């Protein structure tokens, strides 16, 4: 809500939606009424996603990361701990994620930039979320890496394994997931003709 009150961020949201509609209009012609509806729906969707993301992160991610930690460390690496113990570790790591949202909000307000955050893309003057290299820099978020380290430490302690082994597995899976996400984004752009 703090971000939405900033005129610069409101303008950036509007510009992003307009830009996407212009790209789509090149492929599929649309009249002014359709464009106005698209802008309204696009801006509402962005607002909903900005509000829903922290809520989903707070309530869904501990169970998701708990599943990953339990399957990988508890079952595949034979750590022998329960799913709920893994959820507990993931929930404790989520405290870092909550701090990340506070820092991200302050950076967005301070820089007046919707794309600001505690990641390397903050160093890019003209950030473009459609560029894979910019997406890779967003993925190098200091708080995400910190939370991964905490999850790795928790998995190591629960499973009686070394931190290096747990971190190697969790960081490896995370980098594979992020690389796959960026790759799927590039593929979708190519299929859409952008």
C-alpha angle 184-189-192 in degrees, rounded to nearest 5: 125
Q: Which 3 state secondary structure label does DSSP give 81?
A: coil
DSSP one-letter string for 130-183: T-HHHHHHHH-BHHHHHHHHHHHHHHHHHHT--HHHHHHHHHHHHHHHHHHHHH
Q: What is the pLDDT along the chain (194 residues), one digit of tens a residue?
A: 666 666 776 677 767 767 766 666 666 676 777 767 777 777 777 777 777 877 887 889 999 999 999 999 999 999 999 999 999 999 999 999 889 988 988 888 888 877 788 998 888 878 777 788 888 888 889 999 999 999 999 999 999 999 999 999 999 999 999 989 888 887 877 776 65
- Please, which residues bridge with residue 119 across strands? 141
Q: What pLDDT, on a 0 to 100 scale, did the predictor assign at position 76?
A: 93
The answer to whether the CB of 93 falls within 8 A of the CB of 73 is no
Query: Is the backbone of residue 114 left (phi > 0), alpha (psi -120 to 50) or beta?
Result: alpha
Q: How many CB atoms lie within 10 A of CB 93?
A: 23
Whats the size of the chain, residue-wise? 194
The answer to whether the CB of 47 falls within 8 A of the CB of 65 is no
Q: How many CB atoms lie within 10 A of CB 40?
A: 11
CA-to-CA dists, residue 29 to 23, 45, 83, 173, 193, angstroms: 10, 22, 51, 42, 15
The answer to whether the CB of 17 falls within 8 A of the CB of 42 is yes
Cα–Cα distance between 26 and 177 in angstroms, integer? 32
Q: What pLDDT, on a 0 to 100 scale, did the predictor assign at position 147?
A: 95
């Amino acid at each position: 809500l703090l971000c939405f009150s900033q005129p610069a961020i409101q303008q950036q949201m509007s510009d992003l939606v307009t830009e996407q509609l212009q790209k789509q209009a090149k492929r599929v012609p649309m009249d002014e009424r359709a464009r106005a509806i698209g802008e309204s729906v696009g801006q509402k969707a962005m607002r909903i996603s900005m509000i829903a993301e922290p809520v989903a992160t707070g309530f869904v991610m501990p169970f998701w990361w708990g599943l990953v930690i339990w399957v990988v460390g508890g079952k595949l690496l034979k750590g022998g701990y329960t799913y709920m113990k893994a959820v507990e570790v993931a929930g404790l790591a989520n405290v870092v994620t909550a701090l990340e949202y506070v820092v991200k909000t302050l950076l967005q307000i301070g820089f007046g930039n919707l794309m600001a955050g505690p990641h390397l893309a903050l160093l890019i003057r003209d950030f473009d979320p459609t560029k894979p290299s910019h997406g890779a820099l967003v993925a190098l978020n200091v708080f995400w890496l910190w939370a991964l380290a905490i999850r790795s430490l928790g998995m190591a302690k629960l499973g009686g394994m070394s931190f290096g082994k747990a971190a190697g597995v969790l960081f490896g899976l995370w980098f594979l997931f992020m690389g796959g996400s960026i790759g799927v984004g590039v593929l979708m752009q190519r299929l859409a003709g952008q």
